Structure 1
């Protein structure tokens, strides 16, 4: 199923009459750098369900006209989307996947039915469920939410790094949680901001995608109420020593994929202690420092007489979205990349 930008959902290609359980997963779901669905009739619901592209089937909850709008971006391990509906709807998963679904309900309410249980999420509450456990979800009228999926493997890896040792059991998190604490509000705002940014840029080839997944895993694990509280990591006393080792590692791998877990391992501390150290001594997060140093590297290339195109320099240092690169560059250096190349910037 593909959607015409700014228009109504429509089909491309033939629709299979094969039973859903006999069709390949790639026939009913596929990565999309950006998709938009606007559903206003029962016919369009049938087209969306038959054509594939997203992971659930839709149905109406009443006899009135459908009104559903969804837009977002999706990959096999990380997805973000926003949903708005004045009519309400019911969704049923098309297949099982080793993913966790997070939903921040901003208005209306949603009932999620798992294996023998029901959970109600209303405006101001967030919902979390393993995709494989979800039976269906029913949204009310005047419903709005921002949602995402993250792989169980990524979350488990981050959990083990935060705890400082391997754990056989997956962390036990509450299925419904209020969004009124500062960490949960920050997590909600992160999803909202990422959904808006990725609406423009997508995440298919972004060098930061894996790092983004890791950061969101850490943020989720520290913000979301757990049935079993996590152990507090011990704060290290020699921040400067470890910080220097972390910065040396970053500088030595600036043009490569950088993971927080790898930086922390090189510094000899946990990820949580790494974050504390950066914030305490630099007033910046590790991700902000990485971005700044990559911008500095791009600035040196442009100011030093490199013949490469501005886009090539940006990509060399991990910036795949030129609009985002230009905005960050102007904020840091007070001029555009082109002005630096022409000698008008500092």
Structure 2
């Protein structure tokens, strides 16, 4: 289909209580940049039930317009309902580009929407820009196992759609906002929803691990030596009020739950402080934590690649260094 406008849409995914997930608000930041370069408006698309909080937050983070679709049938995510709602909106308003968070739901929704609209989709993006010559969105994502970054364009079909990893971008500073709010009524017949969530099973081992929203993360890698090594990692995390992370090597070895994994095949994070303990710094791991404001690396190998990206580095045995850090932090707070 052809675009009717130059607008950039950001899908604001909501929780069951109607509040927005962080990634949608984060994507309003690059969305503002792309919309300005393309000469269109930044439009937030909010779907759910009782989404007043999500609409308000989108207003406070630079959206020019907010289009919401509400109803009990949207309280729990379903591919059929959400796909119909978004495709109906796209056919009516005709945006030129759309950003979707690469959450579990977003990774399900993006391909279905792009297929329904007969357009392209670039998945798991870690950087966004606009090509000055063509005006197309330049979507950048890891390729070949994370060993290089590919920049992709969708020149012939609209809207251009991409899913973007949570934690890659930062939320803008909240302001009063003056977004125009539009509510669309898109009814879904129950027979159109072919799947239902019968029960939600939580990862008991992983617990409620919120890596994407954490301000401080202490991560352990192959250097922790085994599952008991994470006791030392957790001790530092506890005194800092931090979340425990891990590299793929530690997770694959069965030392800690996948819920803690940071990296290309785990979570993309952007904390204020990231402490990497016994992590060598493979490119797949760096792709997941490169958005951190400050990186501290602790490794006994002085040539480890992690030191190339660290703001501060300590060459030493983590089992000797971390207990000292814990004691010094406790003393400073006494």
TM-score, length-normalised on structure 1? Answer: 0.26
Q: Which has the larger radius of gyration?
A: 1
Larger % of helix: which?
A: 1
Q: Which structure's relative contact order is higher, taking Cα pairs within 8 Å and 6+ residues apart?
A: 2
